[in-house]
Amino acid sequence: MSQPTILLVEGDPGVRKSFRATLARAGYDIIEAIDGRTAFDIIAEERIDLVVQDLRLPDMRGIDLAEHIRELHGFEELPVIAICSVSSTLQRAHVLDTIFNEFLLKPIEAQKLLEVVRRYLPLGDDPRELPGRHRLVLVADGDVLQRRGTAIRFRRQGFRVREAADGEEALEKAMTEPPSALVADSQLPRLDGFRLCQTIRETPALARVPVVLVGAGPVGTSDRRMAMTIGASAFVQRSSTSQQAISAVLSLLDGKPSGGLDEKLKSLAAPRVDVLSSDGSVIDVGSSDYRTRLIRQLERQAQITTELTRITNLQSAQLSVLAGVSETLTRTLDLEATLAEALARCMDVSVFSVGAAFLVEGEDLRLAASHGFPDNLKPKLTSFFGYEELLRRALEEQEIMTVPSERPNLKGADRLLVETGTRGMQLVPLCVGEARLGVLVLASLQKDMRRRGFAFARTIQGQLSQAIQLGHTLDRLALSEQRFRRAAEAVPEGLIISDRGGQLTFLNAAARALFGVPGDAVVTLQDLLPGIDVGKPTWEGVACGLGGNAPTVRVSTSLTVTGHEIERTHLVQDVTDARAEEAALRDLAEHDALTGLLNRRSFVDRLGTELGNSSHGAVLFIDLDGFKAINDTHGHGAGDLVLERLSDALKTRLRRTDVVARIGGDEFAIMQPGSGDREALALGNLVLRTIRGLMTHIDGHPVSLGGSIGAVLFPRDGDAATQLIERADAAMYDAKRTGGDQVVIWAPADDPD
């Protein structure tokens, strides 16, 4: 049998890792999703047996995801467990009935989650080997918590379970898929359990389905008689374990009915069942006798409901206390004030009247807060009336200690009650994992406070422990923030922190100076760095400072994800001068220093690129005739002047697409894309005319200047840049040998090879 598959939808990677490890270790197959969209795609493709999801997802509300799941065909009964904060639960409890099977409150331990998951997905045994043997039970109850609890307990027995919130829904689901048994509350909305049972018996397709009615209070003989006469197979009392209902269903389905039930079962197929009064007369289900019995059931239900309401109100008040602890702490950032307020509020919603909180400081326990102790006892409270060893023992054992106690090592602690003027006390260790944080002391003026006091102490223990640890963390964070700000302000580069939406949450002094941002300005990352790609670790571009400056900057970005929050840290370097220097060096490396034309290496590179583009054209190699005489007669300064003027002339006379370079001393090269023989000759003659008309006198002396030009065509005459230049050079020498001042097109016979 394959293991059940759980879809875990949680945006916090730490929480997801903890839950995954625990559930996988228990034997479940785990599929993870970091957001709602991913989860929905997975459910559409994978077999999922249960969903555990956070209510706060990065891309959508958890409620919306659960509603999408419910709308998928075949997933209406898929168990969905929601994880949320206390405040979220109180605000959204109304969605529990229609969307989620269960709520779990944060913070929740992974082991607690495992216990809840096992209610829906038991491991180890094949459900068909359990008592329920995978048979279908329809559970109908208007109270969602009662219904879900009963359904969970039937699933543990190996049953398949469908749920209905009222009698009409139960009848509709039974008609759609007849169950092996129906378990129905006698006080169902719309169609109560008795009328539902009668309708089931009158429906041929369902007439033999065993019906177990559940009453709110003690079920008497007359109640059972009325249930049996109307066609019920059994009438049991509601309990926290649903054991009576489970036992009744198993007895009925396994053929072991008791108490004359066989005869009742034989009559289940009757088209109509009459209800009999105590004198044997037939009672109509709308009669006063029937209504009287229902009213009695309702009265018992009302008594139970009243008590449950009282307990619920008390628990809601206690939850509000717990929810306010962390909120107060984060608002005030004062741990001792938070503890004092928490103690005061605890006294209002519990059996306790006085309390104190001791926190661990090194090897000592320090009184951090107290409430309700008279002024004359406060000096002794600092040392806990000389019973500090009790506090240490509770902290060491990590167990709630009750005074008075029958434990031998706590016999002498009774004197502590005399010292404090109280009649009962709970010493509550405050721990998170292996971290021992302190001890909460709760004392009462009531003698019999053990049960309710212990339950409240256990309830508040975890929340206060988490709050204290949060307080310590906030202290460390405040200290870390101070250190960070000092370090950040000392950094010579600009340091910027932005949130998920691109709003800037921090700029150091260097960043403000670089961008010209005043202290009160509200700007976004795109305002200062338009076009930045935050998905890349490094980005370079032109910044847009508020002061009108536009420096070139290099930005290194790192990402931090905490829960659902995303924060980016950007280290900004002003590289304006560096890039200008690099451009100047690159220009020097690519161009001739005297003429500004491309040098030989750059020309070869450009020609190679053109060849790689599979284009065609011409390459001309130019050598000046008479240039050596100018250098020898008039000096190198005059020669440099000739080269500069020729370069300027070529730049103005050539096409924009032509590439001209100085190859050597008095040697030049031109690449003209798209040229053939005719165009190459025309270009060469243009260059010769330009050279002849360049200058006729230097310092009043006549000079004569000409040129010899060799030309090649590509790719006809070669497919490599160096090869083309060599052949153009060879053609140039042919022009020079035959008198110069002419253009010669290279021919294969000219190749020295």
Q: Six-digit token pair at 379?
A: 């000096």
Neighbour count for residue 282 (Cβ, 10 Å)? 10
Cα 379-322-474 angle, rounded to 5 deg: 75
pLDDT of residue 129: 67
Averaged confidence pLDDT in the chain: 80
pLDDT of residue 367: 93
pLDDT digits (tens, 9 = 90+) for 222-268: 667 777 888 899 999 888 778 889 999 999 998 754 443 334 433 43
Asked if 277 and 289 touch (Cβ cutoff 8 Å), the reply is yes
What are the start-end ranges of the H helices in 54-109? 62-71, 86-92
- Evaluate if residue 327 carries a pLDDT over 70: no
CA 722/CA 709 separation, integer angstroms: 17
Closest CA to 752 of 720, 709, 723, 713: 723
Ranges 40-44, 529-533, 563-567, 711-715: which has the least confidence: 563-567
- Evaluate if residue 396 carries a pLDDT over 80: yes
> 425 burial class (0-12, 13-18, 19+ CB within 10 angstroms)?
buried
Which helix (H) or strand (E) segment holds residue 391: the answer is helix 388-397
Topology, domain 1-124 = Rossmann fold (3.40.50)
Ranges 16-20, 289-293, 512-516, 574-578: which has the least confidence: 289-293
pLDDT of residue 85: 64
pLDDT digits (tens, 9 = 90+) for 18-50: 899 889 888 889 999 999 889 988 888 888 889
- Evaluate if residue 364 carries a pLDDT over 70: yes
What is the rounded average pLDDT of the residues 545-572? 83
For the chain, give the percent of residues with pLDDT over 70.
Answer: 81
CATH 2.40.128.130 fits 591-750, yes or no: no
**Sequence letter at residue 664:** G
Per CATH, 1-124 and 317-476 having the same topology is answered: no
pLDDT of residue 136: 92
Q: Six-digit token pair at 579?
A: 């890039």
- Evaluate if residue 187 carries a pLDDT over 50: yes
Q: In terms of pLDDT, which residue wins out, 143 or 170?
A: 170
126-285, superfamily in CATH? Response regulator (3.40.50.2300)
Matching residue, tokens 């109270």:
143
Partnered with residue 495 across adjacent β-strands are 571
Cis status of the peptide bond prior to 492, with omega within 30 of 0: no
Q: DSSP letter at 74?
A: T
CA 736/CA 746 separation, integer angstroms: 13
pLDDT of residue 126: 54
Residue 433: strand, helix, or coil: coil
- Evaluate if residue 650 carries a pLDDT over 80: yes
- Evaluate if residue 449 carries a pLDDT over 70: no
Domain boundaries 491-578, CATH class: alpha beta
Partnered with residue 582 across adjacent β-strands are none
Residue 12: strand, helix, or coil: coil
What's the CA dihedral at 667, 671, 675, 679 to 10 degrees?
Answer: -30
- Evaluate if residue 315 carries a pLDDT over 60: no
**Banded pLDDT at 305 (limits 50, 70, 90):** low
The architecture that CATH gives domain 317-476 is 2-Layer Sandwich (3.30)
Q: DSSP letter at 398?
A: T
Count how many Cα atoms sit within 13 Å of the Cα of residue 196 in the half-sphere of its side chain: 35
Q: Put the strands of the sheet holding 401-403 in their side by side order.
A: 364-371, 354-361, 435-444, 424-432, 401-403
pLDDT digits (tens, 9 = 90+) for 565-589: 788 889 898 888 888 888 778 878 8
What is the rounded average pLDDT of the residues 719-746? 93
Q: Six-digit token pair at 361?
A: 């400081």
Matching residue, tokens 């006798």:
289
Length of the chain: 753
Phi and psi (nearest 5°) for 547? -85, 5
Where are the domains positioned within the chain? Answer: 1-124, 126-285, 317-476, 491-578, 591-750
- Evaluate if residue 711 carries a pLDDT over 70: yes
Asked if 191 and 217 touch (Cβ cutoff 8 Å), the reply is no
**Banded pLDDT at 89 (limits 50, 70, 90):** very low
Sign of CA dihedral 37, 42, 47, 48: negative
Phi and psi (nearest 5°) for 387? -110, 35
Q: DSSP letter at 598?
A: B
pLDDT of residue 621: 97
Q: Six-digit token pair at 34?
A: 């970091």
Closest CA to 290 of 357, 222, 352: 222
Residue 194: strand, helix, or coil: helix
Asked if 416 and 408 touch (Cβ cutoff 8 Å), the reply is no
pLDDT of residue 713: 96
**Sequence letter at residue 2:** S
pLDDT of residue 733: 94
Q: DSSP letter at 412?
A: G
The per-residue b/e assignment along 46-68, b for 16 or more CB within 10 angstroms, e otherwise, is eebbbbbbbbbbbeeebbebbeb
**Banded pLDDT at 518 (limits 50, 70, 90):** confident
